[in-house]
Structure 1
Amino acid sequence: MFKKILVAALVASSFGAAPLIASAQQRAIVITQPPPPPREEQMPRARHGKEWAPGHWAYRHGEYVWVRGHWVGARRGMHWVPDRWVERDGRWELVAGHWARGRDRDGDGVPNRFDRRPNNPNRS
């Protein structure tokens, strides 16, 4: 009886672990050729309840392709961190866009609650 329970527990736990393993092994895009400079896009007028995800270069089928900016549904208390390419030891890796806690309207890395000028368009 104990062996049946043990086998059932092992089988059940293996099903629960499969999605975690699959999600942890998502393909990271690493390339030796740097991406082209970002294209200039005009951000459309702000939409209530939406946040702008700017365009970025993606790497598909052996070449860079431009992905246009788009609106994403806003999340309370969070801000959108755009997709970006990061160089590490001569290799370029795409860091996917994601939601982060806190607000940083001007993108200077200082959350609005600590920023003396949270809407400074001339940040450096």
Structure 2
Amino acid sequence: MSKKYVVKLMFLVMVLAGAGSLSASAQVYVTVRPEWHRVERRPVGPRGSVWVEEDWEYRGGRYVAVGGHWVAPPHPGWVWIPGRWVHERRGYQWIPGRWRRR
């Protein structure tokens, strides 16, 4: 094998490995579901907004609780569907909340 061929092959392997890690990062699974321990006082919110209680974001290699905030609907009459933990074969995955038309 020529050196040029080996370098091209190594580059191809690195590109394919990087592409695989990018697609895998879109779905994060944890073996132990984080527990919601926050007790929050709900302040008076803006008119027409919805209170989001339990919400999680994946930051720095772990899920962080970011609930307890008011969210305004993107369009009049839309409703908030809360996020939820789903247990699958690989572990638990957080499915974020979303807006839906009534």
Q: Which residue of 1 aligns with 2:35?
A: 36
In the superposition, the TM-score normalised over structure 2's length comes to 0.59
Please list every run of 5 or more consecutive structure 2 residues that lacks an aligned counterpart in the other structure: 1-23
Q: Which residue of 1 aligns with 2:83?
A: 83
State the SS of the aligned residue for 1:43: coil
Q: Which residue of 1 aligns with 2:68?
A: 69
Q: Which residue of 2 aligns with 1:56?
A: 55
Count of residue pairs the alignment pairs up: 79
How much does 1:73 deviate?
Answer: 1.5
Matched, 1:93 2:90: no
Q: Percent identity?
A: 35
Is the 8 Å Cα contact of residues 56 and 94 (structure 2) preserved in structure 1? no
Matched, 1:45 2:13: no
